[in-house]
Amino acid sequence: MDKQPVNITQNLIKHFADYLRLELSLSDNSVEAYCHDVHLFLQYLESQNLSTETNAIKQDTIENFFAYLYDLNIGATSQARILSGLKSFWRYLLQENLAETDPTVLISSPSLGRHLPEVLTYEEIQKMLDSIDLSQPNGHRNKAMIEVMYGCGLRVSELIGLQISDIYRNDGFLRIIGKGSKERLVPIGDSSLKILFQYIEGARLHVTPKPKFTDTVFLNSRGTGLTRQMVFLIVKDLAEKNGITKTISPHTFRHSFATHLLEGGANLLAVQQMLGHASVSTTEIYTHISDELLRDTLTTYHPRFRK
């Protein structure tokens, strides 16, 4: 059957979103990100008075789009993500016979270099936890959030999506729904579990959950779930109050969780499983952080290295 050319429209992007969600089982966050990338490309085509017909878009169109992004000071990491979104979009078009060729196939992702994420020390994390005012309405909730993010290495999306029914209290495990709706069991320590239930069986009882959020662990004052931005602002505020000048986000606690485990001698494959990484190569970045720590320790304390 001949492939029928179509124009990239908002309606086509909506069908692409349905494909990502229903056929690939991607999370809502991933679907939103991929569709945003295609929206951005469509806006570029319209702003340059270029054809939006799928068969009219060639490799040089894509290359010129990324040159445009570069001129807007869009960084290499963001460009790589946008390219990934466009490649997924053209895979969908080819599968649905909506395009004849893939203009992204020979486009290489920009070089990202090695980026070592920011990591908090155990003392910095403890300082943040100790500074939380438990007399405030959200004090116990915020302390439980930090404890679970650091104690279990969760992504922020996994934290705000955590359900009470996902907590196996007697066994000391959390059932986590990660990227691509993949499930994993993550151990939770006794101290973190204790702080978590001090919130669930205490402060949380004073909030009336909306019907869709009766099983959601972390609630706002209106009885609905927290957003990623709300968690980011809570973490940023805690860091500023404690004089921590590092650039941190909720994900920093996940980085710190992995780094501290590997520094303590944990098995790399076990850490990979707890983080829910599809490939061990993703987890290996934390071994480089540990290597840097060892080098700094040697430089500081060994007489042959001291200046």
> Which positions are annotated as active-site residues?
155, 179, 251, 254, 277, 286
Q: Strands of 183-187's sheet, edge to edge? A: 167-168, 173-177, 183-187
Helix (H, G, I), strand (E, B) or coil at 173: strand
Closest CA to 37 of 122, 104, 96: 104
The pair of three-digit structure tokens given for residue 16, joined into one six-digit string = 């692409």
Task: Write the CB contacts of 70 (distance below 8 Å, at least 6 apart in sequence).
Answer: 79
Task: Write the CB contacts of 217 (distance below 8 Å, at least 6 apart in sequence).
Answer: 162, 163, 164, 167, 196, 200, 204
How many other C-beta atoms can be found within 10 angstroms of the C-beta atom of residue 20?
Answer: 23
Cα separation, 235 vs 218, whole angstroms: 15
Helix (H, G, I), strand (E, B) or coil at 187: strand
Place of tokens 């599968």: 95
Q: Is 297 exposed, middle or buried (0-12, 13-18, 19+ CB in 10 A)?
A: exposed
The pair of three-digit structure tokens given for residue 181, joined into one six-digit string = 């709706």
Distances from the Cα of 256 to the Cαs of 43, 56, 129, 246, 252, in angstroms? 39, 47, 15, 13, 6
**β-strand pairing of 183-187 with 167-168:** unpaired
* Contact yes or no for 125/256 (Cβ under 8 A): yes
